[in-house]
Amino acid sequence: MPAVGSRSSAADAEAARISAAIDEELRQERAARTKRKPKEVKVMLLGQAESGKSTLQKQFQLYYASQSLDHERPSWRPIVYFNVLKALRMILDEIDVSYPQAMHQPSSSGSSSYSPVSTANSTAGVFSFTSPQQSTSPKKLKSKDSQSPPTTVNCPDPNWFPELNYLRSKILPLVASEEALASELSGGITLSGGRTGVYVRTGWQALVTGSRAWPIAGSGSGGGIGSVPRASAVTNIVAKTLQATKDEIYGLWRHPGVLALLRDGKLRLEESASFFLENIHRISEPDYLPVMGMHDLFIVIEYHLIDHNAGLEDILHVRLQTLGVTEHSFDITIGGSQLHWLMYDVGGARGQRHAWVPFFEDARAIIFLAPISAFDQYLDEDPRTNRIDDSLQLFTQIVSNKLLSNAALVLMLNKTDLLKRKLQAGIKVRKFISSYGDRPNNYEEVSEYFRAHFIQVQKRKDVAGRTLYVHFTSMLDIKATQRIIVNVGESILRLHLADIGLA
């Protein structure tokens, strides 16, 4: 049928024209990208969940783009609240389980004196790793290992129950807002099978401070904020409830019954929980804004860091799980050349790792973070796997990955502060890693032992025989981390400039 045939050839011609136009557009885009490319330095932050990737990203942002971090401060406020609510919920949940008696008591006004008491988590476990089952049924540390008070969870003081019941009834309404806050912060995203939590994607700051209900006070502890962003109604309600219950929150956190749960390892809070609860009076101020700054250490309850100073780095302590891959960029000038630094911060949990691969080919450098304090911890996503074992396996996969063979390798053995505190608290590495044997249980020996294992993995498995740059880090120490960032950043940039023939 000729009529159809001519319509068809006209349509074909039109399709060919559109196709050619798209091809041309793609060609131009590719050409533009290739032209831009020498100026781009792509760096990936890799490592297991909670290894400190996002914390390192914040440190880079603090160094290269501190103004942007300053502008983001209001958006961190509900996240800090969320960290507080999550910790409180975990405490109340554990009280329900461990002190059921507290539920059946008339509540008292809880007038206990909350003195700092040492706590310790003791788990038995195993570079030959022992069974994690042992770690989920914690045992008390021997008395020489712990400065614990005489009362333990096994023989709770009956006076605790009316106090705990009172504190619980006061704090429950606040904890009830956790889900609403979580849902708002994560834009309604929930991961099936995951813990209750908040996940961050690129652009989350806009989600949190979008044009919503009321302005955050821009004065007082805030200062230095360019615009006054808005917070949500949920954030507002949580702020007011926090203000009204701050004394009870502090009372619960320092209650001897709660400290006993921590010491006995029944209650395992996230690492930053103690920091936020200890600072609850400052955080619940009406004009509170999260801050970045220096701090002095004040108290250590076992290996939980407690900090009383008022100008503190809340943003660095926040725990906010990364979902997928988030991109951060800074412009950096080095040796007269202006470079565009693109940093990819990834979600480190096992379910998130598949999302890393598409970014591998272009990566100029990998910064791999391994938290060496985690020798006595297991993965949330697989409670049978020791965290150091997972880090080593993951590092093996990264150094042997052919797609990454052109990337420079930087290894950060992180959380050395926490490692020191755990060792000082008497937690024995050989209980969890049997191959540690009878080596001395001090920081110098333990950190060197882990460093040697990671270096050995790289020597054996590296596809490209690269130089491995290794640093011991404590990401919460701004001064020390900033020095390392300059060092690492400049090394990566110089390698890049040398590669593209500009150095």
Alpha helix (H) ranges present in 209-343? 233-253, 256-263, 273-278, 280-283, 314-317
| CA distance linking residue 73 with residue 314, whole number of Å | 10
| CA distance linking residue 79 with residue 320, whole number of Å | 8
| CA proximity to 129, closest of 368, 392, 415 | 392
Element (H, E) at 369: strand 365-371
- Is 264 labelled a binding residue? no
Q: How far is the CB of 395 from ligand GTP (least distance, A)?
A: 14
Establish if 302 lies at the interface with ligand GTP (CB under 6 A): no
State which of residues 45, 47, 50, 54 lies at the interface with Mg ion (CB under 5 A): 54
| CA distance linking residue 13 with residue 328, whole number of Å | 43
- Is 316 labelled a binding residue? yes
Q: How far is the CB of 358 from ligand GTP (least distance, A)?
A: 17
Establish if 290 lies at the interface with ligand GTP (CB under 6 A): no
Instruction: Note whether 88 and 394 are within 8 A (CB).
Output: no
| CA proximity to 93, closest of 260, 261, 274 | 261
Q: Which does 177 bind (CB under 5 to 8 A by kind): Mg ion, ligand GTP, none?
A: none
- Number of residues near Mg ion (by CB under 5 A): 3
In the bound state with ligand GTP, the residue whose beta carbon lies nearer, of 184 and 271, is 271
State which of residues 42, 55, 141, 359 lies at the interface with ligand GTP (CB under 6 A): 55
Instruction: Note whether 138 and 121 are within 8 A (CB).
Output: yes
- Is 17 labelled a binding residue? no
- Is 401 labelled a binding residue? no
- Is 92 labelled a binding residue? no
Q: How far is the CB of 286 from ligand GTP (least distance, A)?
A: 25
| CA distance linking residue 437 with residue 311, whole number of Å | 42
Establish if 49 lies at the interface with ligand GTP (CB under 6 A): yes
Which stretch, 33-41, 52-60, 93-101, 426-434, contacts Mg ion (CB under 5 A)?
Answer: 52-60
Establish if 59 lies at the interface with ligand GTP (CB under 6 A): no
State which of residues 54, 148, 186, 386 lies at the interface with ligand GTP (CB under 6 A): 54
| CA distance linking residue 71 with residue 67, whole number of Å | 6
Between β-strands 40-46 and 337-346, what pairing exists: parallel, antiparallel or unpaired? Answer: parallel
49: left (phi over 0), alpha (psi -120 to 50) or beta: beta
CB atoms closer than 10 angstroms to residue 330: 17
Which stretch, 10-18, 45-53, 78-86, 475-483, contacts Mg ion (CB under 5 A)?
Answer: 45-53
Q: What does the per-residue mask of binding to Mg ion show for 318-337, with x meaning CB under 5 A? A: ----x---------------
- Is 321 labelled a binding residue? yes
Establish if 316 lies at the interface with ligand GTP (CB under 6 A): yes
Q: Of all residues in the chain, what percent are helix, strand and coil, respectively (each to 5)?
A: 50, 15, 35
Residues 417-446 that bind ligand GTP (CB under 6 A): 417-418
Of all residues in this chain, which one has the CB nearest to ligand GTP in the complex?
348
Instruction: Note whether 268 and 234 are within 8 A (CB).
Output: no
Q: Which does 232 bind (CB under 5 to 8 A by kind): ligand GTP, Mg ion, none?
A: none
Residues marked as binding for GTP?
A: 316-322, 414-417
Extract the annotated binding site for Mg(2+): 322
Residues lying near ligand GTP in the complex (CB under 6 A): 47, 49-55, 271-272, 316-317, 319-322, 347-349, 414-415, 417-418, 474-476
Which positions touch Mg ion (CB under 5 A)?
53-54, 322
